[in-house]
Structures are given as C-alpha cells and as structure tokens.
C-alpha cells in the first residue's frame, strides 16, 4: 500500500471530471485542503472552496487567482474540446499558462501535476509503438498535451517548485453523467441488451476484438497522482499510469458479459451513440420499471467516447513499470475494476 507522508493546499482544475472528482475525494481523505476551479458555479454543493474563473481570460485569471496565496500544489486535469486536434492546442495551453503563472507569483508552490494521456505517443491518429514508454520521443504535429509539457518544463527552470506528468490508459470510474466514462457506456449497453433479450455483442471490428487496451482505475490514478505530488522521485518526470495488467478485449469482454449474466457474441461494428439514441424510449421505460435515478439515457452517457475506444483497431497500451520502479506500489486487476464499477452503478440505481 502506497503511503503519503505530507499534505498541503491543493488547487484542482477539472475537479468535476472522472479524474478530478476522484482526486478530490482522495485528497480530502488524506487531510488536504482543496480548492476547485471552474468556469461556472458548481451545481453540486460540497465542503470545498470553489473559485469561478475563465482560464482563457488572462485578466480575469489574474484577478481570480491573486488571493490564492496559500496554494502548495496545482493538480491540472482540465481541458477544452475543439473541432480538431490542432485547434485544441492554443486554448488548452493558454489555460495552463494563465493558471500556473498567476498562482506561482503569490503562493508557496511546490508541485504542478499535469494530467496527460497516450496522445503524447501519437495514439490518437492511428497505430503507434507499443508498449509506449516515457522515454519515447514526442511526435511531430499539433497535440496539446505535448505543448503543455514543453511549456511547463521550460517555465519551471531555475524555480523552487517542480512538475510531473501522468499518462493514464482508459480511465474507469463510477461517476455518472460524464461522457468519457467507458465503463458506464458498457454498463448501459449491457443493460439494454439484457432488457431486449440479446447477447452482449462486442461492438468493434475483428481487429479491435484481438487488440490490447490498458485501463486505469480512477482511484488508483488518484493515489498515483498524490504519490507523485509528494515523492522526490517524481520531480520533473513523466509516468504512464495503468492498472498493472494487460487484457485483450477477446479475453475481457466475455468476463463482462458473464457479470451481466449474458452470452458473449462475436464482434460486429456498432455505434453506441446511434444505439443510445434509438433506445432512448426503451431506457425511459426501463428506468420507470426499475426506479432508476435517470430516465434520459443521453444525460448519463451519449456513447461517443465508447465509439472512439471501440474504433481502435490497434493496440493501445503503455509500460507502467517506470512508475513502480520510482516507488508507487498500487495495482488494480482490470476485470475486478469493471465489476466494482458495475456494482457501484447498480447500487446507485444508475443501471438496473
């Protein structure tokens, strides 16, 4: 079990996402003071301080962040979507720059934690070298994770604080309403199949069926993030963060089907987005019958991220040993991660 030997004042950008929300819980469990940033006033009330700021606005950022003179650690997992990868670079880099440059001016900053992904290895356009390793060079072309790290490492030089970057696989979480939650998308799909008396057919190509995708439990990722924020060995380094095991979909999918008491069926390329729209009325009736908390399937998950993941017809995994060699000892069996998430979703009446 990895231990964390000190606490501080955490400023969390992206606190409402599947990564940030679990990180906030973990920080609070370890007696950290937490401040969250958002562009709008959060709809859910909790016991942490919220700062409303548009990080794209330099003047507003300077005004809103000036009073945060006790922040010791920045945890950055915010991001802004755009029509293309190239268009995402400028706004996402600007947000990080406005945050870090303003906070470090007035606060006793120790660490900036940057959440990334396998896009730094070129995973998003198509097949790439696997297992991806932190020593692999960046690829040419526009990609905001790379731009952020290059800026952050240059900006940090000769300063007292340090940075680190974390690169998870596909993140597993029981947070509902987040469109990038693959486990929730699978759980909704399985629930619909069960209601219709259908087997759980794999929704990707034959190539995807035999591909490897590594996964990262949100709780494990939060633990790794907190470890990196407090460990000497993590200073100014990047780490892949995955559960620590490797599965092909051809092995994992039948296990998921068995959990839902369904037969597993061979792959056929399907769109979760199209299915969720087509079965919107079916879910509405199912929610009424089973007393589920949300009757509109599209408010839970729109299926687009699942379509993205199941559209990968190549391996998508990284070597997670660098993190363990540096001192983090966490591990999570991926099949058990999915089962735990499904159980939580069922207990919360999100799925029947």
The domain in which residue 319 lies consists of 171-214+246-347
Q: In terms of DSSP H, where are the helices of the chain?
A: 18-29, 58-65, 85-106, 144-156, 182-195, 206-209, 218-230, 249-259, 272-278, 280-290, 297-300, 304-310, 321-326, 334-347
| CATH for 258 | 3.40.50.720
Task: Check whether residue 162 and residue 268 sit in a common domain.
Answer: no
Q: Is the pLDDT assigned to residue 130 strictly greater than 90? A: yes
The predicted pLDDT at position 287 comes to 97
Assigned domain for 26 exists: yes
Q: Say yes or no: 224 and 307 in one domain.
A: no
Check: CB of residue 199 under 8 Å from CB of residue 265: yes
On whether both 177 and 229 belong to a single domain, the answer is: no
Q: How confident is the model at residue 5 (pLDDT cuts 50, 70, 90)?
A: low
Domain end point (choices 206, 241, 276): 241
> Is residue 86 one of the residues assigned to a domain?
yes
Residue 280 belongs to some domain of the structure: yes
Residue 273 within a domain: yes
- Whether 30 maps to a domain, the answer reads yes
CA-wise closest residue to 163 among 75, 37, 33? 75
Indicate whether 231 and 311 sit together in one domain: no
Please tell me whether residues 21 and 164 are part of one structural domain. Answer: yes
The mean of the pLDDT values for the chain is: 94
**Same-domain pairing of 208 and 341:** yes
| Count of Cβ atoms closer than 10 Å to residue 75 Cβ | 30
pLDDT digits (tens, 9 = 90+) for 112-125: 999 999 999 999 88
Please give the C-alpha separations between residue 108 and each of 27, 71, 118, 160, 208, in angstroms, as whole numbers: 18, 6, 31, 9, 47
- The verdict on 33 and 71 lying in the same domain is yes
Tell me the mean pLDDT in the region 211-219: 97
pLDDT at 282: 96
Examine the domain organization and report whether 97 and 164 are in the same domain: yes
Residue 3 lies in a domain: no
Question: What's the pLDDT score for residue 4?
Answer: 58
Check whether residue 206 and residue 331 sit in a common domain. yes
Contact between 172 and 217 under an 8 Å Cβ cutoff? The reply is yes
**Angle between the 85-106 and 144-156 helix axes, to the nearest 10 degrees?**
30
Same-domain check for residues 178 and 256 = yes
Which neighbouring-strand residues pair with 10?
34, 73
Q: Are residues 128 and 22 in the same domain?
A: yes
Of 199, 89, 102, nearest in space to 141 by CA: 89
pTM: 0.95
Q: What is the pLDDT of residues 241-278, one digit of tens each?
A: 999 999 999 999 999 999 999 999 999 999 999 999 99
Q: What percent of the chain has pLDDT over 70?
A: 97
Residue 4 domain flag = no
What is the structure's pLDDT at 232? Answer: 96
- Per-residue confidence band for 1, with pLDDT thresholds at 50, 70 and 90: very low
Strand 73-76 and strand 170-172: the pairing is unpaired
Q: How many domains does the chain have?
A: 2
Average pLDDT, integer, range 223-235: 97
Residues 230 and 190 in one domain: no
Is 96 a domain residue? yes
pLDDT digits (tens, 9 = 90+) for 13-47: 999 889 999 999 999 999 999 999 988 777 666 77
Which residue has better confidence, 83 or 324? 324
pLDDT in tens, 273-298: 999 999 999 999 999 999 999 999 99
Q: What is the pLDDT of residues 141-183, one digit of tens each?
A: 889 999 999 999 999 999 999 999 999 999 999 988 788 899 9
């Amino acid at each position: 079990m990895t231990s964390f030997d000190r606490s501080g004042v955490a400023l969390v950008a992206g606190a409402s996402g599947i990564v940030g929300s679990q990180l906030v819980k973990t920080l609070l469990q370890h007696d950290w003071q937490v401040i969250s940033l958002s562009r709008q006033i959060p709809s859910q009330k909790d016991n942490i301080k919220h700062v409303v700021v548009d990080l794209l606005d330099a003047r507003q950022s300077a005004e809103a962040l000036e009073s945060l003179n006790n922040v010791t650690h920045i945890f950055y997992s915010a991001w802004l979507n755009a029509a293309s990868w190239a268009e995402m670079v400028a706004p996402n880099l600007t947000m990080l720059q406005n945050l870090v440059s303003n906070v470090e001016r007035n606060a006793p900053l120790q660490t900036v934690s940057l959440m990334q992904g396998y896009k730094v290895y070129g995973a998003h356009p198509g097949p790439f070298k696997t297992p991806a390793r932190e020593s692999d060079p960046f690829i040419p072309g526009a990609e905001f994770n790379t731009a952020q790290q290059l800026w952050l490492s240059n900006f940090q030089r000769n300063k007292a604080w340090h940075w680190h970057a974390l690169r998870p696989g596909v993140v597993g979480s029981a947070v509902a309403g987040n469109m990038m939650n693959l486990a929730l998308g699978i759980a909704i799909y399985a629930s619909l199949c069960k209601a219709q008396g259908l087997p759980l057919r794999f929704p990707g190509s034959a190539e995807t069926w035999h591909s490897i995708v590594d996964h990262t439990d949100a709780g494990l990722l939060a633990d790794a993030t907190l470890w990196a924020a407090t460990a000497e060995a993590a200073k100014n380094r990047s780490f892949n963060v995955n559960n620590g095991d490797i599965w092909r979909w051809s092995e994992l999918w039948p296990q998921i089907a068995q959990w839902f008491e369904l037969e597993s069926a061979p792959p056929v390329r399907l769109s979760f987005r199209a299915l969720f729209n087509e079965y919107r009325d079916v879910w509405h009736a199912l929610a009424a019958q089973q007393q589920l908390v949300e009757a509109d399937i599209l408010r839970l998950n729109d299926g687009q991220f699942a379509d993205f993941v199941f559209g990968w017809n190549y391996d998508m995994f990284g070597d997670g040993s660098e993190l363990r060699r540096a001192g983090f000892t966490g591990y999570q069996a991926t099949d058990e991660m999915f089962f735990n998430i499904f159980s939580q979703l069922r207990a919360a009446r999100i799925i029947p």
